[in-house]
């Protein structure tokens, strides 16, 4: 490219805004048009100018301002996290010095350290993390809590750590495990099965909790009864989950099916439990007597019967509507 052409490019690029606004002279306009036909660089500049609007400029500027503000906030959060972490170290160091100087051992120091870690997991971790803050905070908090259990158990002679840990993990899992697994990247084969994994995880820890609590107290009969109750409970939950997640029908049919299953489960759960736990055959609804609401047996039977009647009507209505809706869609 010659020096004259470079100079012409400079002139044309100076004229491009006027040319775009149709504010240049006819001679300048003709020169620009002829130049754009032969110069790819200036043509790209003109195309970029055409695609640049006030809205685009304002958007880019606002995004830049927001990014700078976010960066500033991250820096401030990071500094605050460091300061809080240093402050949390103060009682830990003091406790360590006192424990060592008094010869009292490191039991209290260990418990206090774990407690400060728990506080840090709820305050420092979110400030220092840039991604998956909730997941990291939950995992750090659970770890710190288990450390507290461990050190307190050691201070009291041991033997209780597992008893405290398993029920605690089960209770926390019911609330927090869905939040954790939601932010975890799983292999492709498992990426669409997070709900299934969550339910399987909760089921596992439920049975582990029953085992540990009853085994610790030596209550074998209680363990058997607990397993039966848990199995009946989770059978209903798994059945509803399967219908909601995997049954290949529309939402109305799913809702009707789930409602009917839930009503049947509520009406006959106690009968099933009594059969397996006490080896007795009974059918609560046989004691139905709507004229008697004073006897607790009749009350239970009346309630179960009403659940079956109204639940069956509502569920059946949803099933019918779902089938009609499906036929309408098939006809379209």
pLDDT single digits (tens) 163-193: 889 999 898 888 888 888 887 888 888 888 8
Q: Give the mean pLDDT of 306-330.
A: 90
Q: Which of 83-97, 147-161, 179-193 has the lowest mean pLDDT?
A: 83-97
Would you place residue 3 in the very low, low, confident or very high pLDDT band (cuts 50, 70, 90)? very low
- CB count within 10 Å of CB 316 equals 13
* Phi, psi for 288 (deg, rounded to 5): -65, 130
Q: Give the mean pLDDT of 230-247.
A: 91
Please state the pTM of the whole predicted model.
Answer: 0.67
Q: Give the mean pLDDT of 45-59.
A: 67
Would you place residue 111 in the very low, low, confident or very high pLDDT band (cuts 50, 70, 90)? low
Q: Which residues contact 201 (CB under 8 A, 6 or more apart)?
A: 173, 177
Cα angle, residue 56 at apex, residues 53 and 59 outer, rounded to 5°:
150
Q: Give the mean pLDDT of 68-92.
A: 65
The reported pLDDT for the residue numbered 65 is 66
The reported pLDDT for the residue numbered 144 is 85
pLDDT digits (tens, 9 = 90+) for 241-285: 999 888 888 889 999 999 999 999 999 999 999 999 888 888 989
- CB count within 10 Å of CB 142 equals 19
Most confident range, picked from 54-68, 74-88, 93-107, 147-161: 147-161
Distance CA 285, CA 264 (A): 11
The reported pLDDT for the residue numbered 1 is 44
Burial class (CB in 10 A: 0-12, 13-18, 19+), 46: buried
**Is the pLDDT assigned to residue 210 strictly greater than 90?**
yes
pLDDT digits (tens, 9 = 90+) for 4-35: 444 788 888 888 778 877 888 888 888 888 88
């Amino acid at each position: 490219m010659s020096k004259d052409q470079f100079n012409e490019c400079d002139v044309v690029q100076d004229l491009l805004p006027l040319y775009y606004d149709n504010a240049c002279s006819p001679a300048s306009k003709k020169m620009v048009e002829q130049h754009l036909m032969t110069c790819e660089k200036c043509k790209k500049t003109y195309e970029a100018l055409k695609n640049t609007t006030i809205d685009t400029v304002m958007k880019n500027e606002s995004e830049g301002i927001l990014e700078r503000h976010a960066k500033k906030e991250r820096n401030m959060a990071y500094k605050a996290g460091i300061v809080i972490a240093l402050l949390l170290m103060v009682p830990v160091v003091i406790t360590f010095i006192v424990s060592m100087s008094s010869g009292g051992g490191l039991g209290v120091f260990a418990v206090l350290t774990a407690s400060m870690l728990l506080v840090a997991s709820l305050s420092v971790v979110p400030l220092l993390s840039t991604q998956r803050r909730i997941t990291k905070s939950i995992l750090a908090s659970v770890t710190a809590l288990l450390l507290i259990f461990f050190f307190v158990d050691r201070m009291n002679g041991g033997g209780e750590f597992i008893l405290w840990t398993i029920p605690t993990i089960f209770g926390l899992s019911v609330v927090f495990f869905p939040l954790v697994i939601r932010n975890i990247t799983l292999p492709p084969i498992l990426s669409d099965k997070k709900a299934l994994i969550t339910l399987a995880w909760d089921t596992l820890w439920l049975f582990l909790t029953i085992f540990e609590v009853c085994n610790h107290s030596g209550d074998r009969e209680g363990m058997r009864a607990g397993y039966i109750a848990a199995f009946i409970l989770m059978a209903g939950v798994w059945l509803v989950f399967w219908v909601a997640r995997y049954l290949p029908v529309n939402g109305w049919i799913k809702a009707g099916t789930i409602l009917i299953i839930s009503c049947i489960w509520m009406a006959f759960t106690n009968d099933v439990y009594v059969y397996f736990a006490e080896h007795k055959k009974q059918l609560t609804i046989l004691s139905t007597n709507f004229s008697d609401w004073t006897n607790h047996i009749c009350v239970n039977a009346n309630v179960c019967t009403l659940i079956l009647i109204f639940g069956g009507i509502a569920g059946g209505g949803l099933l019918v509507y779902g089938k009609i809706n499906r036929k309408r869609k098939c006809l379209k």
